[in-house]
Amino acid sequence: MGKTCRFIVNAVGKGGETYYTHFSTKQELDKWVSENQDKLSMDELKIVDKNKQRNPLLRLFNL
């Protein structure tokens, strides 16, 4: 199977740049954020965890 992405990042840079990227592990995400922290406007950083977006009803049945 192919590599899947778990984290999706939407960010705005300090110069108005737009960043859209994705990562499969938390370690990759943390590394990218720390490397680009000086370029990013941290209050405009949005990270979506696709595992947390499941239907709330389905999460009840997985208990």
Residue 13 in tokens: 């840079």
Segments of 1-63 assigned E as strands: 7-12, 18-23, 46-49
* Whole-number average pLDDT of the chain: 86
* Residue pLDDT, tens place only, 35-55: 999 999 999 999 999 887 666
Instruction: Using pLDDT thresholds of 50, 70 and 90, give the confidence band for residue 15.
Output: very high
Distances in whole angstroms, Cα of residue 2 to Cα of each of 5, 11, 26, 40, 60: 10, 26, 18, 30, 29
